[in-house]
Structure 1
Amino acid sequence: MSVTKTVRIEAEMNDSFQVSADIRGHKVFIDQPAGGGGQDAGPTPLEYFLFSLAGCIATIGRVAAMQKKIELKRFAVSVEGDYDPAGLLGKETENRSGFQVMRVTAEIEADCMSSIEKQAFLDEVCDRCPLHDNIKMSTAVVHTLAE
Structure 2
Amino acid sequence: MGLKTISVTANMAAGWAINADIRDHKVVIDQPQAGGGTNEGPTPLEFFLFSIAGCIGTIGRIAASQKRIELRSMEIKVDADLNPMGLMGKATDDRVGFQQIRVMAEIDADLTDDEKKAFLDEVCDRCPLHDNVKLATEVVHSLS
Partner SS for 1:72: coil
Partner amino acid for 1:129?
C
SS of alignment partner, residue 122 of structure 1: helix
How far apart are the structure 1 equivalents of 2:40 and 2:88?
21
Structure 1 residue 14, shift from structure 2 partner = 1.4
Gaps of 5+ in 2: 137-144
CA distance in 2, matches of 1:114, 1:3: 37
What residue in structure 1 maps to residue 106 of structure 2?
A: 107
Corresponding position of 1:78 = 77
For residues 75 and 31 of structure 1, the distance between their equivalents in structure 2, rounded to whole angstroms, comes to 27
- Name 2:66's counterpart in structure 1: 67
Give the C-alpha shift of residue 116 in structure 1: 0.4
Deviations 1:9-39 (A, max 9, x none): 1000011000000001000000000000000
CA distance in 1, matches of 2:65, 2:131: 21
Superposition deviation, residue 3 in structure 1: 1.1
The equivalent of 1:117 in structure 2 is: 115
2:124 aligns to what? 126
Query: After TM superposition, what 4+ stretches of structure 1 lie above 2 angstroms from structure 2?
Result: none
How many residues in Structure 1 have an aligned counterpart in Structure 2?
136
Matched, 1:31 2:30: yes
1:120 corresponds to which letter in structure 2? Answer: A
Shift of 1:63: 0.1
Report the alpha carbon displacement of residue 137 of structure 1 after superposing the two structures with TM: 1.2
CA distance in 2 between counterparts of 1:19 and 1:74 reads: 32
Q: What secondary structure sits across from 2:84 in the alignment?
A: coil
Residue 73 of structure 1: how far off its partner (Å)? 0.9
State the match for 1:6 in structure 2: 5
Q: Tell me how far 1:74 sits from its aligned partner.
A: 1.3
Query: Which whole-Å deviations, capped at 9, do the CAs of 1:100-131 have from their partners, x for residues lacking one?
Result: 011100000112x1100000000000000000
What is the RMSD of the two structures over their aligned residues, measured on CA atoms? Answer: 0.6
> CA–CA distance in 1 between the matches of 2:17 and 2:112?
45
Counterpart CA distance in 2 for 1:110 and 1:53 is 21
Gaps of 5+ in 1: 139-147
Q: What is the percent sequence identity of the aligned residues? A: 59
Structure 1 length normalisation: TM-score?
0.91
